[in-house]
Amino acid sequence: MNFLPVTKSDMEERGWDQLDFLYISGDAYVDHPSFGHAILTRLLESHGYRVGIIAQPDWNNVNDFKTLGRPKYAVLISSGVIDSMVNHYTASKKPRREDEYSPGGKAGLRPDRAVIVYTNKIREAFKDVPVIIGGIEASLRRFAHYDYWSDKVRRTILLDSKADLLIYGMGEKPIIEIADILAKDAPITKIRNTRGTCYEVGYEDLKAEIKKFLDSDSAERENDKYILLPSFEEVQSDLIKYAEAFRIQYNEQDPYSGKTLIQKHGTRYLVQNPPALPLTSEELDKVYELPYERTYHPSYKKLGGIPAIKEVEFSLSAQRGCFGGCSFCALNFHQGRIIQNRSDESIINEAKLLTGLKEFKGYIHDVGGPTANFRHKACKRQEQYGACKGKQCLFPQACSNLKADHSDYLKLLRSIRSLPGIKKVFIRSGIRYDYLLLDKKEDFFTELCEHHISGHLKVAPEHISDRVLEQMGKPKKEVYERFVRKFNEINKKLGKEQYLVPYLISSHPGSDLKAAIELAEYLRDIGHTPEQVQDFYPTPGTLSTCMFYSGYNPLNMKKVYIPRSPKEKAMQRALLQFRKKENYSLVYEALIKTGRQDLIGYGKKCLIRPVKEKEKKNNDITIERKKTGRNNKTKVKTGK
């Protein structure tokens, strides 16, 4: 095996006395292209740089950060593929018991706010080494942002971490450009024009042209190159200013039309350069054809391995980016709206590679990306001008320029499933069903059902109340129902008994108890009880989180209802699993509160049976419900 160095002895075996770049990762070291640390370190290696990795160092011990010595050019820091706070806590802020990105799934091997903690430790270990932060945590916290866990607006993570430079987005182009500049002995303070980066400076250190812009009429916040965002102090104290700042950020994340954004924090200025240009198919092919070991470092074997590898080990990444525009998704801020796709040849070659691996059993788990059936850019216009500012490709209706065509994706899937040694090719990344329905040809939908699912297809309607779906940026209920009918029709023709498993979100901005009851009634009618329900999680960088904090939809500045109380959130969640006996009291209370006693009874349209009070003791009651012709006694809290 040829993993990158993780110890001094690994460096000595390569004849290295010093690294060029040291990478600190909050995830365990997995050398697979589904992990950002693997891609960036292998990419740097392919350009001739010496790179080593320290994964999940003990943040209480500075010596852990010194094990590979001081690097020649810089330290690169990432919390991992998930924000460290999301990794540690559930939507109800309870600690998670497992971490799939750590050995044996053990939790607690990285700190809260890992990017800040790691950067501080590196400063302690190597006082004057340049520090570059990146990954999802740095990327989505690059501006002043609402932090759900502290329930306040925090400064840019660049200031809080005291790093020298922040790379946002996927990072391949910026990291190589920066590495080449540093290799020429240029100081990191001179790196100011690299796309896909943020830096912070004082007023005196700003370029003359930016000073001139800032010194113009204070009411003039924008010109043809720069936009001055509402300051940290403004967004911290004014909800409308917060929403306005987010709208500008949201609309300026296009690599072709995006402007340089500036946000004042006290006496310092955060400057975001426009996003990096998309990778061409040839460039993306090279990224995925680097010499990955495709598994976790052997030092983890005795510790139970890394659970996260199981889902991706035999999956194929076909593209990046998403033009779906879901409000609760951060892809607009990280991968962007413009699809970047690999060539068919590159993907097929990787599939062939998988068939030669010892553990491969003949099953490709996925061929896709953030949205599996977005194989190419939404329209021809994006190839030259980028994504339209202030408009969505699919919402509220599909754009007339949108090209809905699955022929290339279908051709790719046919090629992969015909390879010797491959028994089945699954599609597990999301299928955007409204886009699927726009395709006038039915061959992809038919072959999806015939070849690429096994009994169940997971889809994400998220809700069925149109007023909630509007805030989610999702298609109306009628579209999903049309998709369901078509799915059932195709499977009937194929003679297959297959089912849809809908993903649902409770307590999303815009959802009140009446909307939650509307969704519960829909689940009653289709006879489905979700095994899991995702309570809305206000993670950094999403439009929905902006709504949650400010109470406004930043795209139209209209007020939005926000379910905030833990009790209401619990009731909304319980309504989606109203058949579970442990949810009875919450469902009962929600129905009484909304005047929907018509849903309590024995009729086919009722959600729950009425309570027959037998006795009260210690605030408990014993209730008797009739179910399937027999009495079922359950103990439920009254809350009185």
Question: Would residue 476 count as lying in a domain?
Answer: no
Pick from 224, 173, 169: nearest CA to 194:
173
Q: What is the mean pLDDT of the chain?
A: 93
Q: Where are the alpha helices (DSSP H) in 313-442?
A: 331-334, 344-355, 382-385, 407-417, 433-438
Q: Where are the alpha helices (DSSP H) in 343-432?
A: 344-355, 382-385, 407-417
Domain match, 592 and 518 both: yes
* pLDDT on residue 624: 41
Mean pLDDT of all residues in 521-532:
92
Domain match, 528 and 637 both: no
Mean pLDDT of all residues in 614-633:
41
Domain match, 104 and 230 both: no
Domain match, 573 and 635 both: no
Residues 6+ apart with CB under 8 A from 342: 281, 284, 285, 288, 317, 318, 319
Pick from 190, 189, 177: nearest CA to 44:
177
In terms of C-beta density within 10 A (0-12 exposed, 13-18 middle, 19 or more buried), how is residue 317 classed?
A: buried
Looking at the DSSP bridge assignments, the partners of residue 534 are 505
How is residue 354 written in tokens?
Answer: 């998988």
Q: What's 106's domain CATH number?
A: 3.40.50.2300
- Place 611 in a pLDDT band, splitting at 50, 70 and 90: confident
Pick from 354, 362, 366: nearest CA to 294:
354
Count the Cβ atoms, other than its own, within 10 Å of residue 136.
24
Q: Measure CA 187 to chain center.
A: 33
Q: What pLDDT, in 10s, does the model give residues 428-479?
A: 988 999 999 999 999 999 999 999 998 999 999 999 999 999 999 999 999 9
Q: What pLDDT, in 10s, does the model give residues 192-219?
A: 999 999 999 999 999 999 999 999 876 6
Domain match, 140 and 184 both: yes
Question: Would residue 355 count as lying in a domain?
Answer: no
Domain match, 50 and 191 both: yes
In terms of C-beta density within 10 A (0-12 exposed, 13-18 middle, 19 or more buried), how is residue 5 classed?
A: buried
* pLDDT on residue 616: 39
Mean pLDDT of all residues in 157-172:
97
Domain match, 513 and 603 both: yes
* pLDDT on residue 613: 53
**Number of independent structural domains in the chain:** 4
* pLDDT on residue 619: 41
305: left (phi over 0), alpha (psi -120 to 50) or beta: left
* pLDDT on residue 57: 98
Question: Would residue 375 count as lying in a domain?
Answer: no
Question: Would residue 311 count as lying in a domain?
Answer: no
Question: Would residue 571 count as lying in a domain?
Answer: yes
**pLDDT for 636 beyond 60:** no
* pLDDT on residue 640: 31
33 cis-preceded (ω within 30 degrees of 0): no
Q: Is 332:403 a contact under the CB 8 Å cutoff?
A: no
In terms of C-beta density within 10 A (0-12 exposed, 13-18 middle, 19 or more buried), how is residue 396 classed?
A: exposed
* pLDDT on residue 637: 39
Question: Would residue 466 count as lying in a domain?
Answer: no
Q: Give CA–CA dist 36/38, Å, rounded.
A: 5
Q: Give CA–CA dist 52/19, Å, rounded.
A: 7
**pLDDT for 288 beyond 50:** yes
Domain match, 26 and 152 both: yes
Q: Give CA–CA dist 393/520, Å, rounded.
A: 30
* pLDDT on residue 527: 93
Question: Would residue 523 count as lying in a domain?
Answer: yes
Q: Give CA–CA dist 35/265, Å, rounded.
A: 32
Domain match, 246 and 167 both: no
Domain match, 245 and 135 both: no
377: left (phi over 0), alpha (psi -120 to 50) or beta: beta
Q: Which helix (H) or strand (E) holds 274?
A: none
Nearest 5°: the CA angle 75, 42, 44 is 55
Q: Which helix (H) or strand (E) holds 458?
A: strand 456-462
Q: Which of 146, 166, 196 is the last residue of a domain?
A: 196
* pLDDT on residue 629: 43
Q: Which of 196, 223, 258 is the last residue of a domain?
A: 196
| More confident: 531 or 190 | 190
* pLDDT on residue 36: 96
Domain match, 217 and 269 both: yes
**pLDDT for 373 beyond 70:** yes
Question: Would residue 411 count as lying in a domain?
Answer: no
Domain match, 588 and 624 both: no
- Place 425 in a pLDDT band, splitting at 50, 70 and 90: very high
In terms of C-beta density within 10 A (0-12 exposed, 13-18 middle, 19 or more buried), how is residue 306 classed?
A: buried
Between the alpha carbon of residue 572 and those of residues 278, 562, 589, 596, 634, the distances in Å are 40, 12, 11, 14, 21
Pick from 446, 232, 235, 416: nearest CA to 315:
416
Assign 533 to helix, strand or coil.
coil
**Alpha-carbon torsion 248, 252, 258, 259, what sign?**
positive
Q: Which domain holds residue 579?
A: 494-608
**Among residues of the chain, what percentage have pLDDT more than 70?**
95
Q: What pLDDT, in 10s, does the model give residues 214-246?
A: 998 766 799 999 999 999 999 999 999 999 999
Q: Could you please report the per-residue DSSP string of 193-251? A: --TTEEEEEEGGGS-HHHHHHHTS-TT--B-SSEEEPPPHHHHHH-HHHHHHHHHHHHH
